[in-house]
A and B are shown apart, each in its own frame.
Chain A
Amino acid sequence: MPDQRLVIVDGVRTPFCKMGTDLARLGADELGRISVNALFARTGLDPQLVDEVIFGCVAQPVDAMNVARVIALRAGLPEHVPAVTVHRNCASGFEAITQAYERMNAGHGSIFIVGGAESMSQIPLLYKQSAAAKFSKLARAKGALQKLGVFSRFRPADFQPRIGLQLGLTDPISGLNMGETAEVLARERHISREEQDAFALKSHAHAVDAKEKLAEEICPVYVNGHAVLHDNGPRPEQSMEQLAKLRPVFDRKLGSVTAGNSSQITDGAVALLVTTEQKAAELGFKPLGRLLAYAYTGCDPARMGLGPVFAIRKLEESTGLTPNDADVIEINEAFAAQVLAVLQKLDNNVPREHLNVNGGSIALGHPVGATGSRLTLTSLKELARRGGKRALVSACVGGGQGAALWLERD
């Protein structure tokens, strides 16, 4: 590969909290700022040394466009340090890392703050285009009479909001909601409701067991005099019976994808300090690991859940590495059905004892822009705990893509 190898020096994230709970009042900029601020405190890095800030965010706050720049300035980066927000849907948190790698090798800097931030609580409700047009007419109307005239043309339906979150999770090409794409895979690959629920249950059990381990990568968030310390998605009391009671969301009559076996909708942010091997040595840092290889691939948008299969295969071609070479494997849990479909398609060649060992997005939640960075951070920390050598992290991507990264530690 390349002249400059990217190393991940350290990382930290906010707790991941379900939409509408502990972190609901903090925007993506605030969540991102908190993670970057904590990263500086933990590493002691002088912000003056940073070359660029690259953050993933899928639903950028309307009042903080190019949210990466807002995060950077609020976290105390000097004004001269540029910042960019990147968007590859659920792989945005990977995109931030791999863009830093590409920048390094293009000679554009050596120290990057990367990560992802998402407040799914704060994705706004929208007015329909018809209503928006009437509002703008109203603003331009002169005199009370004319205003009244415009006003009389509003219909109750105009005021029915379009739910931003729902729109964002719908693929415009296939017209399918993400959950519906999971239903497609469950149907075609004969993945039963029980299999999906059992997978979800395991995700919770792993995440609950890993609470202390995960705490290492979390910085407290201080809200109204109280410290939010842990992810609030994992359910210690979760059982198959409870999961079985849930009604399918996307195909109410015959479907099998429920809220229980899908990823949670969550707020959170992750920040990573990445640099070149040489720079890390100069600054006296002992990195968590390095980026060995990565791939993004495209696939059928209606079956976007299979994305990781193609990305992992592509990496096999370029590196010769297969899932069996990994000590830690993360396949992002957008939906249990989708992960199970990936495993099937990879001919069940994935050692399950290495897969999502600290739980996945079904338990921890999936703040879309941040997840890729979280998978990277969590798996590198786990690799160190296990004394392992390589980690494979991957995610399916809405719109029909797959992403996979190979990470390595000495």
Chain B
Amino acid sequence: MQTIRREIIDENICVLTFDRPNSAANIFDRATLNELDEHLDAVAADAKIAGVILISAKPAIFIAGADLHALGKLGEGDLRHFIELGQNVFNKIAALKIPTIAAIHGACVGGGYEICLACDYRIATPDRATKIGLPETKLGILPAWGGSTRLPRLIGVPRALDVILGGKTPPAKQALRLGMIDEIAPREHLLRAARRVIARGVPRRKKGALQLPLVNAAIGSVIVPAVRKKLMRKTRGHYPALFKALEVVTAAASSWNENDSFARERDAILELAKTDACKNLLRVFMLQERARKLVFAPDVSAPPITRVAVIGAGVMGAAIAQWLSARGLRVILRDIDAERVAAGMARIAQLYDAGVKRRLFDKREARDGLDRISPAAMEVPLDNVDLVIEAAVEKMDLKKKIFAHLDELAGRNTIIATNTSALSVSEIAAATKNPGRVVGIHFFNPVHQMQLVEVGIARETSKEAAQRALRFVQKIEKLPVIVRDHPGFLVNRILLPYLAEAGRFFEMGASVADVDEAMLDFGMPMGPLRLIDEVGVDIAADVAATLAAKFPERMTVPNVLHGMIAAGMLGRKNGRGFYLHRKGAEPVPNRDAEQFRESDSAAHVDRAELQRRMVLLMVNEAARCIEERVVDEAADVDFGMIMGTGFAPFRGGPLRFADASGITRICAELAHLAEVAGPHYAPCELLAQMAESGKTFYEN
């Protein structure tokens, strides 16, 4: 299979066009690297050639990096060979005596950017599709085809660390500012721009102080300890790739010898590839890919959704409307009075302002996004919208009323979705005459940060509605997980027992710091009590109550939440909850909440034990989701928890964690806890069976 075309154009310029057959992407697998190697030998052997241009024939991808599917499967020996092959081929490019130009359009990431770093000059298009960078550390590895060596030499250690440790893939404009590329040219002129550079000679880059090894050694000695400390605080040491990358990058910039640095890259990646963290992170990456391509009903027609109405301009409604409008959809934002709509519009404007500050879009794009929203404080016709998303308060009576009315207002082909996090879609659908078009589309808070959306499918939901909802979620750049209509769907169902237990620990005297630190140590992005504050104490209690009503034998709402709500401690939204929240300051534990303690029986339980219990409750509930077929596979559970709650990604999700810990052991511990700490710990049927039969959730 030929993946690269070599041709000689005017002025004896050699163009290598990457065009992998039957694929939208170019990737580096062993065959492609070997093919490239041969091309380069041919180029080196032809003295007439004046320069080389690397370019892609794909509409949205330059080169998407190494073949990750293969990477996950290679044994150590094969991996070593693969890494060395890449390094050698890229070094061949770097060694060519003629100018080498990377002409970049589309995603240029990982190995795709490392090959550019081996070139003399980099030109990229300003298009949206063009993203340039090194995301390897997000997968638990590091750039090992010269990226960790060449980038710091090109742009200096501080910026290189920023890109590599952050796994960043900025657009061309930002990449140019960082020095990652040398020029921006429109797509139509990309080849011409590259030829111009060859004709005029590659401009010599001004060598700044940051290119001098001695300076970098000095910088390294100053910033490395600080960076290491910061990484440690953020990741609690769970992500070894970051520390390895830090080491390799700083060493690369302060030494003269490139070959030593390549060897360090190689050794580091071989070591990292063996870690569970790397395997789990790779798996998460694959699951994201899977979610983007997920199909529910391939045989039904699912006309695209372009016009949407969001009912309710509260925190969720406004955030959903903002997200959709930013993706080019026209959105009606409806609430019952102008004051509520005004508050929603203000929230949306804030989200856009924040997006402009973070350079997610420019001012004009933000204005266009805002323009796409039609605020409606009065009843407006909905027969022309394709989808209605209800995001009202979580009260069943209210939702039923709204749905009965929406059913009348909406056109025949309109899908009506609820953003409920815990109520039954089926029961809501029963309020309509066409329950087939009712579906759950559950966004997570904060909408612009959480990639997961649960597509909740009730028994009544038609295939068309389900497939259209799924397609819609994919189109708006969210990651869907399909869940059946069960209380709390997937994520809240598993999260709530954990949050409730955290509340109970607090109630029994455990300190806020102990409870939250225990879970941060585990690798959660945020402690459970802090999360309750962020969500809102009242909202957490609401969801907990809904679930407690369905599963009274094992779920309860901790009393402390009721006490806090009565005392007006609602969490971050009014500054007081388990923590005191002040603008611009880290929250500190709120001593006033301690008045709701009932005992001190948990005051001396150590963090390891607190962590173990909270994690086991999640594992147990996760297993129940499989048992009750809320989702089809363990991978759905793990994917949902990682993308929906930030469940320690390097652990691969609660069920992967269960496999790794041993089901038998987990089951025994739960049984023991059921005796000493309360019956809600009793292991579920499925776990007990699996412990007995020695089965695991995953095959390997």
- Which A residues lie at the B interface, using CB under 8 A? 33, 37-38, 40-44, 46, 74-76, 220, 222, 224-227, 229
Contact = CB atoms under 8 A, between A and B. Distances in A.
A76 B342 CA distance: 21
Interface string B325-369: 000001010000011011101100000000000000000000110
Contact of A220 (B332, B375, B381, B384): B375
Contacts of B346: 222, 224-226
Contacts of A76: 330, 371-372
B374 A227 contact: no
A220 B374 contact: no
Given A225-B342, A229-B338, A220 B380 contact: no
Given A44-B380, A222-B346, A37 B374 contact: yes
B383 interface: yes
A119 B343 CA distance: 25
5 contacts: A41-B374, A44-B381, A76-B330, A76-B371, A76-B372
B371 A220 contact: no
A227 B382 CA distance: 23
A229 B337 CA distance: 11
Interface of B: 330, 332, 338-339, 341-343, 345-346, 367-368, 371-372, 374-378, 380-384
A319 B211 CA distance: 87
B345 A37 contact: no
A42 B377 CA distance: 10
B374 A33 contact: no
Contact of B342 (A33, A38, A74, A226): A226
A199 to B, nearest CB: 33
A75 B378 CA distance: 19
B371 A37 contact: yes
A76 B345 CA distance: 18
Contacts, number: 51
Nearest to A38: B374
A325 to B, nearest CB: 35
Contacts of B371: 33, 37, 74-76
A40 B343 CA distance: 22
B374 A40 contact: yes
A84 B378 CA distance: 30
A237 to B, nearest CB: 25
A222 B375 contact: yes
A226 B338 CA distance: 8
Which of A33, A43, A75, A227 has the most CB atoms of chain B within a 10 A radius of its CB? A227
Contacts of B338: 220, 222, 227, 229
A89 B342 CA distance: 34
Contacts of B339: 227
A227 B380 contact: no
Contacts of A37: 371, 374
Contact of A41 (B345, B367, B380, B383): B380
A121 B644 CA distance: 48
Contact of B345 (A33, A40, A225): A225
Contact of B384 (A38, A42, A44): A44
B381 A43 contact: yes
A33 B368 CA distance: 11
A345 to B, nearest CB: 42
A94 to B, nearest CB: 27
B272 to A, nearest CB: 49
Given A220-B341, A220-B377, 6 more contacts: A40-B374, A43-B381, A76-B371, A220-B342, A225-B342, A227-B342
Contacts of B341: 220, 222, 227
Given A76-B372, A227-B377, A41 B342 contact: no
A285 B609 CA distance: 69
A220 B333 CA distance: 13
Contacts of A225: 342-343, 345-346
B199 to A, nearest CB: 33
Contacts of A229: 338
A37 B378 CA distance: 14
Contacts of B330: 76
Contacts of B375: 41, 220, 222
Contacts of B343: 225
Contacts of B381: 42-44
A76 B371 CA distance: 8
Contacts of B382: 44
A44 B383 contact: yes
Contacts of A41: 332, 374-376, 380
A355 B283 CA distance: 76
Nearest to A225: B346
A115 B473 CA distance: 38
B43 to A, nearest CB: 46
Contacts of B378: 42
A289 to B, nearest CB: 21
Contacts of B377: 220, 227
A220 B345 CA distance: 12
Nearest to A39: B374
A193 to B, nearest CB: 40
B553 to A, nearest CB: 46
A37 B381 CA distance: 14
B374 A222 contact: no
A273 B615 CA distance: 60
Nearest to B385: A44
Contacts of A224: 346
A33 B372 CA distance: 10
The 3 closest A-B pairs by CB, nearest first: A44-B381, A225-B346, A227-B338
B384 A222 contact: no
A49 B6 CA distance: 50
A43 B376 CA distance: 12
A74 B346 CA distance: 19
B406 to A, nearest CB: 14
A393 B332 CA distance: 34
A41 B372 CA distance: 11
Nearest to A47: B330
Contacts of A40: 374
Name the residue among A33, A46, A222 with the largest chain B CB count within 10 angstroms.
Answer: A222
Contacts of B383: 44
A76 B368 CA distance: 9
Nearest to A44: B381
Nearest to B348: A222
Contacts of A222: 338, 341-342, 345-346, 375
A44 B384 CA distance: 7
